A and B are shown apart, each in its own frame.
Chain A
Amino acid sequence: DQQVKQNSPSLSVQEGRISILNCDYTNSMFDYFLWYKKYPAEGPTFLISISSIKDKNEDGRFTVFLNKSAKHLSLHIVPSQPGDSAVYFCAAHPQGGSEKLVFGKGTKLTVNP
């Protein structure tokens, strides 16, 4: 049973526009959510995180929004750039000091020039 779901396997956006990547979760016991970005032939790299006690975190062009009542988070990239083309993974950290992260399947973002 998948606890973290990214229902869109791919997304295509025009350069300069906003990219919105979505993630849903089923477990209310997650205390942090993270977004990772992965280029081909490389490992995932950490992008941005948000605590479950917040509803927004912003870092430059990247903003993550958390809607706890809907168990939904989204990553906004604006303006999108061709170099943002990658696979984006949503991950969740369970409460209680666990070292685990639970990952979604990923969404492949393509930003067209």
Chain B
Amino acid sequence: ETGVTQTPRHLVMGMTNKKSLKCEQHLGHNAMYWYKQSAKKPLELMFVYNFKEQTENNSVPSRFSPECPNSSHLFLHLHTLQPEDSALYLCASSLVGVSSYNEQFFGPGTRLTVL
């Protein structure tokens, strides 16, 4: 595997379900990100982890719970979601402290539908 991978690619869940999204990066990066992309909206940054420590929580509701066990893996745990949470969830990684402009590498995303 190379680059940034995400599983599952598609997920349909009910509002009472609990599910998790997984992201893995094979690039030796030290920062990982979760973004949400809703229709006709910009990519919204949700969380940033730098060296496994959460450095940014962009006022995300507590029904989204991130976990970063190491610099290569990032999870997004989902529970009691709402239909308006249906979106494309993108994971990204970068090498912070090397490049001034923080080029981020994205995974293919998980298309989430909440019924």
Residues of A within 8 A of B (CB): 2, 4, 9, 31-32, 34, 36, 41-46, 49, 51, 89, 93, 99-106
**Contacting pair B106 A103 (CB below 8 A):** no
Query: Hey, which bits of chain B sit against chain A, CB under 8 A?
Result: 4, 31, 33, 40-43, 45, 48, 50, 55-56, 90, 92, 94, 96, 100-109
Knowing A44-B106, A100-B48 are in contact, say whether A51-B42 is a contact too (CB < 8 A).
no
Q: Judging by beta carbons under 8 Å apart, are A32 and B101 in contact? A: yes
Check if B33 sits within 8 Å of A99, measured CB to CB: yes
A-B contact pairs, 15 of them (CB 8 A): A2-B42, A4-B42, A32-B101, A34-B103, A42-B108, A43-B92, A43-B106, A43-B107, A44-B90, A46-B105, A93-B101, A99-B31, A99-B48, A105-B42, A106-B42
Q: Please measure, in the bound complex, the distance between the C-alpha atom of A104 and the C-alpha atom of B56, giving whole angstroms.
A: 19
- Tell me the smallest distance from the CB of A57 to a CB of chain B, in Å: 11
Q: Is the CB of B94 within 8 A of A99?
A: yes
Cα distance A106–B55 in the bound complex, in angstroms: 26
Cross-chain contact B92 with A93 (CB below 8 angstroms): no
CB neighbours (8 Å) of B109 from chain A are: 42-43
- What residues of A have a CB within 8 angstroms of the CB of B96 in the complex? 99
